[in-house]
Structure 1
Amino acid sequence: MAGETDGTRPFSQPFLVTLPGVYTPQSDTRLLLAALERERVGPGTAVLDVGTGSGALAVRAAQLGCEVTAVDVALRAVITARLNAMLHRRRITVRRSDLMSAVRTRSYDLILCNPPYVPAPDIPRHGASRAWNAGSDGRAVVDRLCTTVPSMLRRGGGVLLLVHSGLCDPDATLDRLRRAGLDAAVSSRVRIPFGPVLLSRLRWLREHRLIRTDDTNEELVVIRAERP
């Protein structure tokens, strides 16, 4: 999750609450939500929301009639997602899990993921910043997802919708997913102004040649990958 990477208005949904220390949905959430709306989902669709945070995406999938499981490594996120499910009167199974470790015994029609993807000097073990800091190349979690997700998608049409920054090499993600046997492509993209997190580490990003000196915007992409 990008955390504070963009300066645009927060995601808006009635009665959506976010406990302190839990990622507040923003532009990447809206982009992934729009991708979810384009999928043909409904009653009987098994959905897994990985890194659910506030549960915004899980709630919307449940509103569309899907059977939803949501996971997050942070206890506060799990509590927040359960609270939002109750506020929206939706039945969502929310579990604490390091990515998919607690739910690997079944396959899913649709997996949603807004992972940590912001390049950073380190990977925090605690605190809100672990929702967006993802190592020196921003791929610490994305690469794990590329390895784990393919086997958890339903054969014959299971879909992954994954959002992340152009700073952490979407082409590398596409290549890894394709090598795992998925049909993968960028389904949508948007450019947004740098927000507080990226602005706070501009010097570091420039020194590591992750952005140019004159860059002021970040590209977000949604990758859609389908299992044949």
Structure 2
Amino acid sequence: MQQYSIASGATLAAVLNNPPIDAFEARILLSHALQLSRVQLITQSERCLTADEANAVSALFQRRLDGEPIAYILGEREFFGLSFHTTPAVLIPRPETELLVELALDRLPHGGHVLDMGTGSGAIAVAIAHSRPDVSVTALDVSEAALDLARRNAARHGAHVSFLRSNWFDAINAAQFDLIVSNPPYIVKNDPHLTQGDLRFEPIDALTDHADGLSALRTIVSGAPEHLKSGGWLLMEHGYDQAAAVRELLVKHGFREVQSWRDLAGIERASGGCR
């Protein structure tokens, strides 16, 4: 692939009028590289780039041309109104997962205790803790790199979250919670989407269970009753075509009020039930 480069002395307007990538993404990367607001990009449109600035912008554009996700290039992504540090060690927080946070906040009693399983960047746990300072939040992940990043994100927003390294319920012992929430790996192995778009750059073990897409969900559903207080809720994100299978799992393990909820695209994105 030919390397993209911007000539020294090019104006901001010239770069933005003929970007090699999506125009919106070009503005984001240009703002990031030059530490300029989007308004300043307009008001300073005739500003000429220095050689160092041209090289810096060219490098960012090239990374995007190579397919690297914007969130990894910038090192952050917004989720539930908060900005999260993001690295290739964790999944990129996505808008559809905000549904889980909303469902959790609606069902958490005052002073309740919530467990976020497979926290990754900590987006779900931190969003809940930031929105509800009255609740106790525990977040676990098997990846120490993910936990390190999640701790940084919690500190960034002054969110009080207890982090624990655990392979699902292994390190939970006899602890019980008012609510358990999880966005586990649920993509079926060899799904073609795993080799397309942003997913190519995200940690494979956080995307797929290397099986039928339901093994992590089975583990969570089967183990949750032991760790939920009476009346406690289990809420999980899953694939676009997995809602019926997840509801069946929940019913099989004795959950009541079992249901699924649709995201903004109208897809049954989350399912859950009450112990």
**Normalising by structure 1, what TM-score?**
0.74
- Whether the 8 Å CA contact 1:11–1:25 is kept in 2: the answer is yes
1:73-119 per-position Cα deviation (integer Å, ceiling 9, x unaligned): 11111011111111111221101111121113211001010000011
Matched, 1:219 2:240: no
Matched, 1:176 2:259: no
Matched, 1:117 2:117: no
Structure 1 runs, 4 residues or longer, greater than 4 Å off: none
Q: Distance in 2 between matches of 1:191 and 1:131?
A: 23
SS of the residue aligned with 1:165? coil
1:177-204 per-position Cα deviation (integer Å, ceiling 9, x unaligned): 2121111423411375xxxxxxxxxxxx
**Count of equivalent residues:** 189
The aligned residue for residue 258 of structure 2 is 185
SS of the residue aligned with 2:163? strand
Structure 1: unaligned runs, 5 residues or longer: 193-217
Task: State which of 70, 75, 79 in structure 1 corresponds to 2:139.
Answer: 70
SS of the residue aligned with 1:117? coil
AA partner of residue 94 (structure 1): F
Task: State which of 128, 142, 148 in structure 2 corresponds to 1:79.
Answer: 148
User: After alignment, is 49-58 or 20-29 more displaced?
Assistant: 20-29
The aligned residue for residue 222 of structure 2 is 147
Q: Distance in 1 between matches of 2:226 and 2:164?
A: 20
Write 1 or 2 for the structure with the bigger share of helix.
2
- Whether the 8 Å CA contact 1:52–1:71 is kept in 2: the answer is yes
Query: Which structure exhibits the higher relative contact order, with contacts defined as CA atoms closer than 8 Å and separated by 6 or more residues?
Result: 1
SS of the residue aligned with 2:236? strand
Structure 2: unaligned runs, 5 residues or longer: 1-68, 70-76, 192-201
Deviation at residue 159 of structure 1 after TM alignment = 0.6
Give the alignment of 1:1-228 within 5 angstroms: 11=79, 13-42=81-110, 44-63=111-130, 64=132, 65-121=134-190, 128-155=203-230, 157-167=231-241, 169-190=242-263, 192=265, 219-227=267-275
- Whether the 8 Å CA contact 2:243–2:268 is kept in 1: the answer is no
Deviation at residue 10 of structure 1 after TM alignment = 6.0
Deviation at residue 154 of structure 1 after TM alignment = 0.4
Deviation at residue 163 of structure 1 after TM alignment = 1.0
SS of the residue aligned with 2:174? coil
- Whether the 8 Å CA contact 1:163–1:220 is kept in 2: the answer is no
